[in-house]
Amino acid sequence: MKITEAYDRVKDLEWEPSYISEEEKCVETTKFFIKDAKPNDPFKTFVREYCEQELEKDERHYALLEASARLHTGEPDARWMEAMKFGLSNLVGVEYAAARAMGRMARTVAPVELRQGYMMQMLDEMRHSNLEMNIIRHHMRHWKDPAGYDMAAVANANSVGSSIFRSMTEDLMTSDPVETSIGLQVFIETGYTNPFFVGLSSSAAASGDDMMASTMMTIQSDEARHMANGWATLSCLLNDDRNIPLIQDAMDKWSWRIHTSFGTGVSLFNDYFVRKHTDSAKEMLNRWVMDDFYGGFYQKLEKFGIKPPKFLDQMISDLDWTSHTTAVYLFGAWPVFFHRYDALNDDDFEWFEKKYPGFYEHFGSFWEAYGQCKDPEDRKLVLKEMGGLPNFCQVCQRPTIFPRPDLARPRSMAFRGKNYICCSDGCEHIFRKDPEHYIGSKSFYDMYEGKNIADVTESLGYLREDGKTLMAQPELEPKRMWTIDDVRRCEYIIERPAMPPKSDLGDL
């Protein structure tokens, strides 16, 4: 029997249950018109075949993991390994959220061909989160300083830096279920999969972390299916003209949301987490996202009336500075993180100035201050010396210093008697479209205003086994590690900054 024939026979097993109404069966509804669509199935794959394929990949990957644990083939670069404590903690959360999102779509979208793809993708995403948790476990057992890897799951839920990724995944899981496909499958898994999985695996291999490289590559081979799922859903939606304005709104929103979350992470990982630099984050994102995705894939949609994303020009210009501004935030707030830092050296400065002309002019003062605040005996926190943390955006949860501190344009607006802050035109546009979707997010100041930063670190649980020494340290090999008492003696009290100017568009 031909595979198409066999597949059609399996699909015929679909039925409408008589013991439950459609409203009770589909607990969520969608604003998109997709119920009666007849899409092409992107993958005519049976569950048995799918499981066999994934089993083969897992056997190869876990064999490599076991060999590495036994043979100890070499020590990876410390800059990379410490930074992965932060990186992997966020990646697991994103994968798990993607699995939940696919479950929502499978319960909402009517065509069985699409639901088959969502179901397999849900299994993929659970596989990915398990793979990444196993890498965390591997590194926790074998890295010379495991403190931080043992906090990965907790830190994903409470780290101020992880809030950028949490806000993105929470947005995905609470938006219209079909809109989730556009955000996840179109922008993350089609637009950003190469710089993340290919770029990150290359950086891992260059840093001696073969386990992470293997993990990223075995995940990347699943992403082709996810891209196909996204295109199948999108092409199905495009067949109904009533969906065009809805798709455009979703495209405008998620192009910016993924730029401020995934794009921020990719920029940081590829520029600041590696010692052996090759292409810059700007070069990779221009090649794979701006040229290949927006200049190629996205242009296919123009014939359907879909216009370029509303904030594309800003996204392109942001690439000049995003990684550096993110690093200022990450390094500046080091006491409330959970890994050791490796500050820039002369080789890094030379490389950054070559790849990003004007880098030292705009960021050199921060790195000079950082170098003077690493010794606990000096009782100086770079965060305090540079004026403290800025405000945070209600939508993307980034500090309001992007794209570059001197170019930032934060603004505030009142909604139901309370002021809210946005960092950019893109986030303000999203907030104004659906303010109720974002007003529930608490900022760093809502939770910690008025507290000594030492109390914040303590409440987060980012202390080593002795209950005094911080997991985070401002350098890889300090003469003496910072303790919670050292941080407390710096007397930095969390103070909420002044409210930024009112938006030009006024209150809501």
Determine the Cα–Cα distance for residues 90 and 110; give it in Å rounded to an integer.
Answer: 32
What pLDDT was estimated at residue 132? 92
* pLDDT for res 55: 87
Cβ proximity of 228 and 236 under 8 Å: no
Predicted local confidence at residue 360, as pLDDT:
96
What is the Cα–Cα distance from 321 to 261, expressed in whole angstroms? 15
Sole residue written with tokens 């994102």: 285
Rounded-to-integer distance, Cα 134 and Cα 69, Å = 12
Structure-token pair, residue 269: 């990982």
User: Is the pTM for the entire model greater than 0.85?
Assistant: yes
How many CA within 13 A on the CB side of residue 30?
A: 23
Indicate the burial class of 68 (C-beta count within 10 angstroms; 0-12, 13-18, 19 or more).
middle
The pLDDT tens digits for 200-210 are: 888 898 899 98
> In the prediction, which pLDDT does 60 show?
83
On the 0-12 / 13-18 / 19+ scale of CB atoms within 10 A, 289 is: buried
CATH number for 36-266: choose from 1.10.3720.10, 1.10.620.20, 3.20.20.70, 3.40.50.150: 1.10.620.20
Alpha carbon distance 331, 401 (integer Å): 14
**3-state secondary structure at position 300:** helix
CA distance 491 to 372: 17
Q: Which helix (H) or strand (E) holds 460?
A: helix 453-460
Q: Name residues of the chain where pLDDT drops below 50.
A: none
Domain ranges of the chain: 36-266
pLDDT, residue 3, reads 64
pLDDT given at position 10: 66
DSSP class of residue 441 equals P
The CA-based diameter of the chain, rounded to the nearest angstrom, is 77
